[in-house]
Amino acid sequence: MINVSVLFGRYWPVIIMLILLGVIPFLGLHYLQALVFFWFFYVAISVAWNLLAGYTGLVSLGQQMFIGLGGYTLAIASVFWGFPIYVGVALGGVVSAIFSVGLSLILLRMRGIYFALGTLVLAEALRLWFNNWAYVKAGSGIFISPAYNATVTDVYYTGFVVALISVFLAKIIINSKFGLGLQAIRENEVSASTSGVDIFRLKMFIFAISAFITGLAGGAFYLYQVYIHPSTAFSMALFLKMMLSVIIGGMGTLEGPLIGAGIYVFLDQLLVNFPGMSLLLQGVIGLAIIFLAPHGLMGSLKRTTWYQAMIKRIIKGF
């Protein structure tokens, strides 16, 4: 019998999963394809927020501003400037990262609740600004007409690539000295500073990386939506969804946002017939997980001995 672990190493389950995700558009299951695309979107924004809150202790309440920036950059670049839509998606990430660096000069001098409130205020200010900016048709929104030329499969793979980029970057960061520095900041900023960690520089870098991922995800999302409006692009509901995904899966874990995003998409579809109660029920579920599994599903699961033993068996192969 062929030892799969010899062929693919310890990553063979990941490779098989990527192959399965890659062939979904060829199965003709359009509903499943749409669900998986939404999972890609929530994975990306959840991974980005988890890098801030879970690994660095920077609880941003305004991460939705980068979703809006990514979406509007796509709209402006493709509709007004005639750029290819995929260039617009990439620019959304770049613009968001550059914008975050500028914000860092102000926001990163705040700590705790002040940083959280600062990001929330700026996200709301951006929503109001785009709602009144005549260049983007003020509050009427924009139809991203070039996106009509993109096939559903093209949009799916765009989301796929964005999700892969988010997870890949997160894994590199977590397993690097940079990641250790971030976790030191999370545990105790004073101790990290006395140990030689450049607090401001690391915070600025992770804020920019998180913004870049979120901006890419925002561009991919509005490539799917085709229409963008300030009230939805900068909506607090988007932040609540990414936060719930991370809480469900487990903050401070790489796998948590992936699992949490999948559960969130499932719950969102399950509660689609209860639009008035959907957010409330999701909040109740989030609170239940906080009480029953305070480290999230993956965070709590990884602390069990049987899970650790199971992972060792998987790595060894069949």
Q: Contact 230/68 with Cβ under 8 angstroms?
A: yes
At 6 the pLDDT is 47
In whole angstroms, what separates CA 204 from the centre of its chain?
18
Residue 185 has pLDDT above 60, yes or no: yes
Confirm if 238 and 72 have CB atoms less than 8 A apart: no
Q: What is the architecture of the domain spanning 4-316? A: Orthogonal Bundle (1.10)
Q: Are 145 and 83 in contact (CB under 8 A)?
A: no
CA–CA gap between residue 312 and residue 89 (Å, rounded): 39
**Tokens in use for 200?**
């401001």
Bin 67: left if φ > 0, else alpha if -120 < ψ < 50, else beta. Answer: alpha
> What are the extents of the domains in the chain?
4-316
Q: Mind listing the pLDDT tens digit for each residue in 58-115?
A: 999 999 999 999 999 999 999 999 999 999 999 999 999 999 999 998 899 888 899 9
Q: What is the pLDDT of residue 169?
A: 95
Could you read off the pLDDT of 144-184 as tens digits, one per residue? 988 888 899 999 999 999 999 999 999 999 999 999 999 99
Q: What is the DSSP string of 3-17?
A: -HHHHHGGGHHHHHH
pLDDT mean over 103-128: 91
pLDDT at 290 over 80: no
Structure confidence at residue 312 (pLDDT): 47
Residue whose token pair is 């996200």: 123
Q: Is the pTM of this model over 0.95?
A: no
**Tokens 């509050």 identify what position?**
139
Torsion angles phi and psi, residue 166, rounded to 5: -65, -45
Least confident of 42-51, 60-69, 287-296: 287-296
Pick the closest to residue 222 from 316, 59, 85 (CA basis): 85
Do you know the residue count of the chain?
318
Contact (Cβ atoms closer than 8 angstroms) between residue 315 and residue 14: no
pLDDT confidence of 281, banded at 50, 70, 90? confident
Tokens linked to 83: 């750029």
State the average pLDDT over residues 199-222: 95
Give the mean pLDDT of the chain.
Answer: 86
Region 293-316: mean pLDDT is: 57
